[in-house]
Structure 1
Amino acid sequence: MEFNIDVRKKQLQSLSQYIKSSKDNVEAILQSLGWNAKNTVENEDPKINCLINPNHLLSFATSAEHIGLCQIRSYGYDINGDFLSDTPSPTTSTIKLDNKTKIEVLSTARFSNSTFRAAWNGHDPDPMTSDRLHSTFSADERLALYDYCVKNTEPPPEPEEFTLSVNNEKEGDKELSFEQQLIKERDAKRRRIKYKSVHTSRKSQVEITREVIDNQMDLYHQWLRQKKDTEDVLQHATDQINRLEDYSTNVASQNSVSYPNGDGVHKERPSSRLSSRHSTHSGSSRKNRPRDERGHRANGRHCSRERRESRDRRSRRRSRSRERRRHDKERPRRSPRDERSRGRDRR
């Protein structure tokens, strides 16, 4: 296949002319609008109109956040208000009610109850705050919707049963007789209020209930910690047992060797070399005794590292004591008169 250079040059020339003409047309349009191509490309930040309120001109980068806030404002909510929790993911314990289902449930409840009080108009969206919930639905409507949701959903899993053991007895406490209990109550009443251990006369029901809940939660947290500690101890013991079993299996496999018999079948028998290493029999030969890191042979049993270190420490202590005794013998002794003369010289 022959390549014609002249035809290729003509094609490139026509393409460059088309690009130049297109560029001139774009520049002419920008000049008619009063724009500059360089500034337009550098400051590219497209603006869009808000979907909720078309009068709002937004930046494309912050459009999603603005639309969410603008929608909340359009419903009449305050941005700094206390909103309800987000809708959970759909499960067997949750249900979603549309307007048609709400109308059917509320109509059925209204027909069955003559004193039913209605407040929802059938068009308002789902409330997003607790205040709007109470103003949108009446108490009868909220009860009807609650009964429908409980009836058509599965209950949450029951928590694990646990026992809270409270030990209020202090060390040294003894069982008091009836007279001693009366004396103790009398003494407690005679005390001032700030010295009384427990006083609930001036506490409201909310404060008492809060203290009860706090105490119960503290005991529950303590029970969870004890349960976790017990599980950790059991897991650690199980791991120790498994490691010991693996170690015993490895030792048993190392202490047995296979040898072929007359039928060509390999049988296992204990190894004489390994058994003699740990043997304590006095007739074991010196050649079969193990050597330590320094190349010394152990006497009888296998000499462990701890035994060698303790033996070295004892030998060093003996040598230091011998050296000290020898130095004391060689040092000349001084008489008491010399000691007194040395003291006068110092003074």
Structure 2
Amino acid sequence: MHTVAVLALDGVIAFDLSTPIEVFGRTRLPDGRPAYRVRVCAPAGEVDAGAFTLRAPWPLQALAEADTIVLPGVADPDVPIPPEVLDALREAAGRGTRIASICAGAFVLAATGLLDGLRATTHWVAAPLLAARFPAVEVDPDVLYVDNGQFLTSAGAAAGLDLCLHLIRRDHGSAVAADAARLSVMPLERDGGQAQFIVHEQPPAPHGSVLEPLLRWMEDNTRRELTLDEVAAQAGMSVRTLNRRFREQTGTSPLQWLHRARIRQAQYLLETTGHPVDRIASQVGFGSPTAFRDRFRRVTGTSPNAYRRAFQGQAAQ
């Protein structure tokens, strides 16, 4: 039987810890037999999980007998990881053991060096920190999970479910994975990626800068088909100077900033109104519905209609 070892470290996020225990533990083969043996391991017997403490029944050495190791997230990724944990993970990888991380568990996996040169993901809030701390890792904040074969990473919270279901499908096929998804009250595959959940804040201009009033004016005029010449005239500078000032003070171009502002307004309208998508495209200043749908997918990773189904509240419906 396939053994899954879930590693619990101090500060473990309870949701991330429970997800693989429940999903793998409840998975059944077509003949009714359990598909997995699940073991919770820890470097020491007792683990501080914040709101409670737990006693792991298996020691760190049990990782040597696992076919798959799952690394749940930890609340503070700045806390040093015990060297014996990193050594045990490297040794397991050397034996060919599959290792998957959930949420900030990617920091533990990246600390082993096993993700160097590979694509990985984590919760979108933590993605910039992961990229800064481990520059040899190609961090993709827009996806729900990344499968590199032996090493897998997932985004936060519910993305751990997506990853577990993906592993079940790899191991036992779609029928077994679909049954596991139904038990978890989850679709086997979700539309879009993590990008649809990211709050796309606009790069601000420094307080009191020459761009501050211009950005407010642009935000108020997103419905209009603004041109670079018109924006530059409003700012009282040449197009060349406008582009340079934008790069210096916001890190992006005027048109990119404007597109982001329009998409953010479109997200609000999709969440709170029943307006047709074509009408929303016009309301936020896109010349055509096709251009709007293309830009929306590029920013959020999903379509306007799929975004509305995922995020519109009952009152708006």
- Which interval holds the TM-score relative to the shorter structure? under 0.3
Q: Work out which structure has the larger RCO, using CA pairs closer than 8 Å and 6 or more positions apart in sequence.
A: 2
Q: Could you say which structure has the higher helix fraction?
A: 1
Q: Give the TM-score taking structure 2 as reference length.
A: 0.19
Q: Could you say which structure has the higher strand fraction?
A: 2
- Which structure: larger Rg? 1
Q: Give the TM-score taking structure 1 as reference length.
A: 0.18
